[in-house]
């Protein structure tokens, strides 16, 4: 909603998912942001009135444009169903469009949250709608359709496209033609700094919230696993007690800084990234997700057990040494997140008994964080 306000929307249609935290919360956010949200067929059962403003009429140049919002009456309102009801959209549209025209609206735009089929059925059955923006699980259709006298815009989902509807008015500001085209928002569009700041703030707060959730879940999981198996990860510090030379060499590698790269990228609560930056993710004794500031601090970074196996199985290594080959590395160094990885080139940088001059790593080889920057 803050983003919509910054982008300067004249009207925003309501959908059922906007009510997932309840009507009171939504109204408080509308009041805070002053965002013009409209919905004509959502009713408050207690007051017998529309829950939100049904439509707005704005002066655009010398033309009065009315914008009406409608949502589907087939949706599940969740917890809000006890206090809210959705009236049949066509009935409401037939009643309100003449009212909007009477108030001076020369162009009427419908913000529809009915889906593709129901939106098309409605504008076929109801006269007076000049343009419909079709929402709720709709495909992206590059050229809009003309349905009777209504031009329809199908902009897809997730904000990846923008639709442009051109309505031409003739004598007496009567609509004489209309057209719609949808465009992909590619890299050339660029970012709006204020919006980017909103997204970053949200991601930081969400990351912190997920960290707390994961800590609680990890504590339960760890207790369960501890009771089920004697084998577990022990952490690099335990290995160091006997393998001091190998530990000293490991500290010179980027493996020993793997967790730091996640923290710097603010991805240390991202479960897609964490497994390749810690020891024994979600396994007995391994990193459970409680964060580096907890007792799990010893389980961060790419440690001995990532390559050599679980520490409590150390006795088995002596009789049947575990071979650390290319397959071990490729668990994390996949083409998607380590596009420059080459086993022969990288091996000397991590092998403990390497003698010689280290080969230079490729400029772009390594684990990639969000946005494609190398960081591992």
Convert the pLDDT of each residue in 67-104 to its tens digit.
Answer: 999 999 998 887 788 889 999 999 999 999 999 999 99
- pLDDT tier, 363 (very low <50, low <70, confident <90, very high otherwise): low
Q: What is the mean pLDDT of the chain?
A: 87
Whether 58 shows a pLDDT value over 80: the answer reads: yes
Convert the pLDDT of each residue in 141-177 to its tens digit.
Answer: 999 999 999 999 999 887 889 999 999 999 888 899 9
Task: Name 108's bridge partners.
Answer: 66
Please state the rounded mean pLDDT for residues 185-204: 91
Whether 374 shows a pLDDT value over 70: the answer reads: no
Which residues are CB-contacts of 356 (< 8 A; sequence separation ≥ 6)?
348
Answer left, alpha or beta for residue 8, where phi above 0 means left and psi between -120 and 50 means alpha: left
Fold type of domain 2-189: Purple Acid Phosphatase; chain A, domain 2 (3.60.21)
Convert the pLDDT of each residue in 275-308 to its tens digit.
Answer: 999 998 888 888 887 655 565 778 899 999 998 8
Can you give the pLDDT at residue 376? Answer: 38
Question: What is d(CA 341, CA 339) in angstroms, rounded to the nearest whole number?
Answer: 6
Q: How many CB atoms lie within 10 A of CB 211?
A: 15
For CATH 3.60.21.10, list the domain ranges present in the chain. Answer: 2-189
Q: How far is CA 327 from the centre of its chain?
A: 32
Question: What is d(CA 15, CA 246) in angstroms, rounded to the nearest whole number?
Answer: 59
Q: How far is CA 317 from the centre of its chain?
A: 43
Instruction: Take residue 201 and report the two structure tokens written for it.
Output: 């703030």
Can you give the pLDDT at residue 293? Answer: 55
Question: What is d(CA 324, CA 304) in angstroms, rounded to the nearest whole number?
Answer: 11
- pLDDT tier, 361 (very low <50, low <70, confident <90, very high otherwise): confident
Question: What is d(CA 75, CA 86) in angstroms, rounded to the nearest whole number?
Answer: 9
- Residue 66 and residue 56 in contact, taking contact as beta carbons nearer than 8 Å: yes
Task: Please report, rounded to a whole number, the percentage of residues in the chain having pLDDT higher than 70.
Answer: 90
**At CA 203, angle to CA 202 and CA 209, rounded to 5?**
90
Residue with tokens 């009510």: 19
- Residue 129 and residue 150 in contact, taking contact as beta carbons nearer than 8 Å: yes
**At CA 49, angle to CA 44 and CA 51, rounded to 5?**
50
Q: How far is CA 90 from the centre of its chain?
A: 33
Question: What is d(CA 365, CA 334) in angstroms, rounded to the nearest whole number?
Answer: 11
Whether 373 shows a pLDDT value over 70: the answer reads: no
Task: Please report, rounded to a whole number, the percentage of residues in the chain having pLDDT higher than 90.
Answer: 47
Q: Helix 89-102 vs helix 115-125: angle between axes, to the nearest 10 degrees? A: 50
Strand positions, DSSP E, the chain: 12-13, 37-38, 42-44, 49-50, 55-60, 63-71, 84-86, 107-113, 131-134, 140-147, 150-155, 161-169, 175-184
Whether 191 shows a pLDDT value over 50: the answer reads: yes
Can you give the pLDDT at residue 22? Answer: 87
Please state the rounded mean pLDDT for residues 184-203: 91
Question: What is d(CA 22, CA 17) in angstroms, rounded to the nearest whole number?
Answer: 10
């Amino acid at each position: 909603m803050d983003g919509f306000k910054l982008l300067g929307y004249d009207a925003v249609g309501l959908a059922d998912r906007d009510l997932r935290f309840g009507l009171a919360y939504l109204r408080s956010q509308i009041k805070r942001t002053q965002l013009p949200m409209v919905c004509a067929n959502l009713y408050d059962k207690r007051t017998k009135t529309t829950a939100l403003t049904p439509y707005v009429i704005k002066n655009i140049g010398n033309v009065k444009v009315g914008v009406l919002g409608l949502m589907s009456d087939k949706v599940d309102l969740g917890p809000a169903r006890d206090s809210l009801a959705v009236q049949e959209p066509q009935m409401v549209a037939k009643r309100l469009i003449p009212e909007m025209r009477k108030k001076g609206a020369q162009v009427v735009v419908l913000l529809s949250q009915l889906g593709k089929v129901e939106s098309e059925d409605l504008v076929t059955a109801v006269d007076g709608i000049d343009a419909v923006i079709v929402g709720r699980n709709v495909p992206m259709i590059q050229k809009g359709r003309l349905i009777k006298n209504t031009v329809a815009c199908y902009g897809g989902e997730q904000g990846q496209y923008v639709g442009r509807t051109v309505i031409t008015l003739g004598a007496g500001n009567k609509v004489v033609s209309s057209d719609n085209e949808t465009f992909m928002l590619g890299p050339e569009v660029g970012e709006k700094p204020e919006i980017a700041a909103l997204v970053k703030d949200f991601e930081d707060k969400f990351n912190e919230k997920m960290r707390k959730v994961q800590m609680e879940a990890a504590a339960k999981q760890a207790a369960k696993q501890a009771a089920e198996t004697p084998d577990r990860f022990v952490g690099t510090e335990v290995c160091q007690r006997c393998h001091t030379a190998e530990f000293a060499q490991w500290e010179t590698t980027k493996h020993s800084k793997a967790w730091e790269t996640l923290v710097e990228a603010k991805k240390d609560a991202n479960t897609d990234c964490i497994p390749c930056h810690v020891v024994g993710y979600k396994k007995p004794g391994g990193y459970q997700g409680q964060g580096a500031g907890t007792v799990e601090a010893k389980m961060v970074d790419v440690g001995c057990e990532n390559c050599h196996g679980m520490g409590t199985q150390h006795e088995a290594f002596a009789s049947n040494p575990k071979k650390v080959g290319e397959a071990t590395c490729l668990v994390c160094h996949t083409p998607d997140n380590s596009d420059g990885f080459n086993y022969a080139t990288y091996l000397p940088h991590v092998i403990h008994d390497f003698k010689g001059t280290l080969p230079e790593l490729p400029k772009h080889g390594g684990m990639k964080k969000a946005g494609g920057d190398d960081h591992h």
